[in-house]
Amino acid sequence: MEGKVFSVQGKELRSIELSDDVFGLPINEDVIWYAINNELANARVGTADTKTRSDVHGTNRRPYAQKGTGRARQGDVKAPQFVGGGTVFGPHPRDYSYSINKKAKRLAMKSILSLKAQNATMKVVEDFSIESGKTKELVSLLSGLLPRDKAERTVVILKDDDAMVKRAGRNIPWLHFLSFNRLRAHDLFYGRAVIVMESAVKNLNEFYADK
């Protein structure tokens, strides 16, 4: 399939080849869901912890006599029904991370790229850089590419790990940077606008091509 390359001012420059194996696939919603949930699970810290009745500090003595009081028998004040007692079935530290099939993850990325290309939320832009690393310069550049509300979530796919562009954009909360070989399904899928550098398209065509 064929796409258009735009200048940083938003003007159409030329055409570019978008590989059908990367940008023209049918959308596989299931594998996208699995990839996003895998990323969210792997990002969980899993440090939440609660005390059971055996962990609570206190005496093991009965709060009152077993018989003769007319009240329900109680073992000790560390039981869950008492204020300050232990927690029943509360969370404990655990590892939430797991891995998914490599082919499934690649298919998820290609499905999301195809989705963005087919619903016209992806724009291919000529390569650019921010030599000064200043946020103001990057915002000025993006204003020509995003005539809509600039506060919406925007993803920029870089041709390489451009430290100065990332430095310029780290203070912009609605902007996310991804390298072509380290895409994140969650950021890419929920990006309301996706800007792909021209060289990154060529890299994506090669990196995600079926081998």
pLDDT, average across residues 19-40: 94
Position 211 scores a pLDDT of 55
The Cα–Cα gap between 154 and 169 comes to: 11
Confidence category of residue 143, pLDDT binned at 50, 70, 90: confident
Mean pLDDT (the chain, rounded):
90
pLDDT tens for each residue of 59-94: 999 999 999 999 999 999 999 999 999 999 999 999
Position 11 scores a pLDDT of 85
For residue 20, how many other CB atoms are within 10 A of its CB? Answer: 11
Q: Which two tokens stand for residue 42?
A: 């792997």
CATH 3.40.1370.10 domain residues, the chain = 2-30+101-207
The Cα–Cα gap between 17 and 3 comes to: 6
Please check the confidence at residue 150 and state whether its pLDDT lies above 60. Answer: no
What CATH class does 2-30+101-207 carry? alpha beta
What is the percentage of the chain residues whose pLDDT exceeds 90? 63
pLDDT tens for each residue of 155-171: 999 988 888 899 999 88
The Cα–Cα gap between 158 and 65 comes to: 72
For residue 22, how many other CB atoms are within 10 A of its CB? Answer: 23
Confidence category of residue 151, pLDDT binned at 50, 70, 90: low
Query: Which stretch, 29-33, 117-121, 176-180, has highest mean pLDDT?
Result: 29-33
pLDDT, average across residues 191-201: 91
